[in-house]
Amino acid sequence: MKKFLIEFIALLLIIAASFMIITENSGESASESTEEMGEALIKSMEETKKEKMKLEQFLTKASQELNDNGYEQIGLSYTDESLTVQVKDQSFIDDNKVNIERIIHNVAEQINFHGFEVEFLNLANYVTFSEEDEKLRESTMKVYDEILNLLREAGYTYNSISMDPNKEVIIEIQGMENDLKMRKEMEELIGQTILSKLNMDLEVKIRKKSESAIRDQEWQPIFGAIREETEKKFEEYRGFAYSFHPEPLQIIIKTDMDTHKWFWKFNKKANQITEYVDKIIELKREELSIEEIPYKIIIRNNKND
């Protein structure tokens, strides 16, 4: 009996020791996995940054080449490996499509930008502005230009400008809200300039940007990284949303997963996505020196539940 107890105790000790080793190794593996994830994410975000810079270079050079060839009224937009050329009507497309495509592909070849299709969008098929609307749009743009010139000369950068053409202009500028005298002087200068140059009598108001708006703006690069990197990593990704209200910040990742058929698989993948998004937030916050705030990551299924 005594021999049996000794053997039993020895067995328990071996099991306990084995469990401790497994636990320790598991902890080390998790630590290594998190570290590897961080390194892979940093590399991926650098690649994304280079791709965006190349896209910007391509669009800028393509627009310039088209302008130099007499196509000043063309607009370009790029989404999902598709370059959309926005033109005024179908006859313009029929007469110029081949030449426009040639210019675009030549530019792409020069900067080694490939893997896209060229599509044409006929703007005549969409809502057109009346003559009165067009005049209002032009006068509004002139007001914006005057305001931007005055702010630039004074050394200020605006956050937003909103305008009621018949009443007022509201400008949000950080750095001036605490100086009442300076704010009033700037409001008068902008109002007088608009009146004298454009003959529009508008009340000008300079306001402080709200804390929530500032916070929203600060987090936009983080939200952008979440969209880009999660879409690259997970084929289940279908969309992104966020909301600061109610608190805490809600970060919503939409997927095409069916929880009714594969509940266990959804939970496993949801945990992986959550961990990945957490790491993106951590890295981007550190990079941008953004203050940490409480947040919650929500993974939605294909029913948006």
Residue 126's CB: how many other CB atoms inside 10 A?
8
Helices (H), 237-294: 263-288
Give which of 212, 201, 206 is closest to 166, Cα–Cα: 201
Pairing of strands 82-87, 117-122: parallel
pLDDT tens for 52-81 read 999 999 999 999 999 999 998 888 999 888
What stretch of H or E contains 305? none
pLDDT tens for 243-279 read 998 889 999 999 999 887 777 888 899 999 999 999 9
Tell me what the pLDDT averaged over the chain comes to.
84
- For the domain covering 213-300, report its CATH number: 3.30.300
The rounded distance, in Å, linking the Cα atoms of 208 and 156 is 13
**Residue spans per domain, the chain:** 52-125, 131-209, 213-300
pLDDT tens for 128-176 read 667 787 788 888 888 888 998 888 888 877 778 888 877 899 988 765 5
CA 64 to chain centre: 25
Q: What integer pLDDT is reported at residue 129 of this predicted model?
A: 67
Provide the pLDDT confidence category of residue 21 given band limits of 50, 70 and 90.
Answer: very low
Poorest-pLDDT segment among 83-97, 175-189, 266-280: 175-189
**CA triple 273-228-55, angle to 5 deg:** 165
Retrieve residue 178's tokens: 């605490």
CATH 3.30.70.2210 fits 131-209, yes or no: yes
Residue 62's CB: how many other CB atoms inside 10 A?
25
- pTM over the 0.85 mark: no
Q: What integer pLDDT is reported at residue 262 of this predicted model?
A: 74
The rounded distance, in Å, linking the Cα atoms of 176 and 62 is 39
- For the domain covering 52-125, report its CATH number: 3.30.300
Domain 52-125 and domain 131-209 have a common topology: no
Q: What integer pLDDT is reported at residue 165 of this predicted model?
A: 73
